Chains A and B, each alone.
Chain A
Amino acid sequence: MGGLTDEELIATSRARPKSSEAFDALDELFRRYFSRVALWCFRLTGDREIAEDLSQEVFARAYENLDSFQGNSRFSTWLYAVTRNHCTNRMKSRAAAPVQFGEGALAHLADVRQLDPQTMLEQAEAVRAVINDALDETEQKVLVLHYGHEFTLDTITRMLGLTNTSGAKAFLVSARRKLTGVIRQHRAVDSRRRR
């Protein structure tokens, strides 16, 4: 089994479902990814026991959903998507979502008091330009991982291997400083236009 590609192992498991050969193939397939899934889960949680639990769940989920793997990507990419989705959902349900320095309550309000879609699109476009032009690579990563992927700052610090004292927080603060100026400018123009 060791000489087969991931995709060949899946084909083997599908050729004779539930057979001993099929289970050998899946066993080999999953073993190949123990370390990768473990690393992802450990970076996310920073705790090896929780990461072990999460890894177990990821493989259970992968097994249950293996039929949905259609070969449109490599198996490793498919497993990555399973790992990421599962970990994100579990972290959210553990209420470890990004509630950092006092913005949590406001973040919840964000769902209630929506900007109108057009204003939002315009402001987001302007902010995107600033992110591209004015933020350095680490600031960009921290911002996207925190607001786009809802990773906590501790997780981001581990993911990016940041060694400065305050980790990802320092980069988030400097990124936001650059962005809020633009947003406020835009907002002022917008409110003048509406008057």
Chain B
Amino acid sequence: MENSIDDREIQVIRAAVAATPACLPIEKLCSLLHEPRDSDPQLLAAAHVAACVHCSIELSLLREFEFPQPQAGEEAAVDWIAARLSRDVSARRSCPQIIGRDRDAGRRAWWRAMFTPRFASSTAVAFATVLLLISAILYVRRPMEPRLASSPAAAEVQRSTSIVALGPLGELAQRPATIQWRDAAGASSYRILLMEVDRTALWRADASGSEIAIPERVRSRIVPGKTLLWEVTARSASGSEIGSSGLQRFVLKLNK
């Protein structure tokens, strides 16, 4: 049964390869990659990477992205994809009808956001009207989360830019599995930020509902006795920030 591995062993291995509080944020890895290693902070960071499997692999992944070396079989696929991306950009600038063939909201958002104003500014009002119509159709077709009815209370949430935080809050006996808040009127999406007390970001995520699961790799960084902060901000369909939970805190109880 050499290959068999039980759930607890997997848990332990996951914890062993997860980032520790000493691990470097991406900004530090970036400066290790691009700046000379001739100052104390740089040397300290380099020493950490040399001794830390997690960070050394983070650094090698970043290096792979920043200084890519496609293998023989990859070059053709990469060229094909890059050509398609370029072609899409050009096509969208000259032929807005292509939008109807787009497959997801992300593409439409990119198209709309990047190219609509340019197109509108360089053509006649008639085209602007067509674009408005297309935008309206897309907006209506966009899947929407159920919203709170427009009640005085809901309006209050928006006016006071306050989102009710539901948890995790205070002292906890167990690692939280989710972050929850109350849905805010007018919110189209939420951004969640989990931080250490010095505001170093541990995790950022976006959600469309009023709850988000904390990924295992982040949960493993919630350790007993260490206070963490979180904040949820709400965004409208146009992407502007319309509300915030303010900073919330929680801490996992120390083991007796």
Contacts and interface: CB of A to CB of B under 8 A. Distances in A.
A114 interface: yes
Nearest to B217: A148
A contact patch SS = helix
Interface string A117-134: 110110111011001100
A106 to B, nearest CB: 4
A52 B62 CA distance: 21
Interface in B1-54: 2-3, 5-18, 26-27, 29-31, 33-34, 51, 53-54
Given A34-B85, A77-B66, A141 B57 contact: yes
B246 to A, nearest CB: 19
A110 B7 contact: yes
Contacts of B110: 56, 59-60, 63
A164 interface: no
Contacts of A117: 175, 223-224, 252, 255
Contacts of A121: 15, 223
B250 to A, nearest CB: 15
Contacts of B121: 20
B77 interface: yes
Contacts of A113: 7-8
B18 A38 contact: no
A76 interface: yes
Interface of B: 2-3, 5-18, 26-27, 29-31, 33-34, 51, 53-54, 57, 60-62, 64-66, 68, 70-71, 74, 77-82, 84-86, 88-89, 103-104, 106-107, 109-110, 113-115, 117-118, 121-122, 174-175, 177, 204, 216-217, 223-224, 239, 252, 255
A7 interface: no
B contact patch SS = helix
A41 interface: yes
A132 B53 CA distance: 7
B241 to A, nearest CB: 10
Range of interface residues on A (Cβ < 8 Å)? 35 or more
Contacts of A60: 106-107, 109-110
A115 interface: yes
Given A34-B86, A63-B113, A121-B15, A81 B8 contact: no
A194 to B, nearest CB: 14
Interface string A34-77: 11101111110000100111011101110110000000111011
Contacts of A57: 104, 106-107
A36 B15 contact: no
B12 A34 contact: no
Interface string A87-108: 0000000000000010100110
B31 A73 contact: yes
B41 to A, nearest CB: 14
Nearest to A41: B81
Contact of B14 (A118, A147, A161): A147
Contacts of A42: 74, 77-78, 81
Nearest to B3: A173
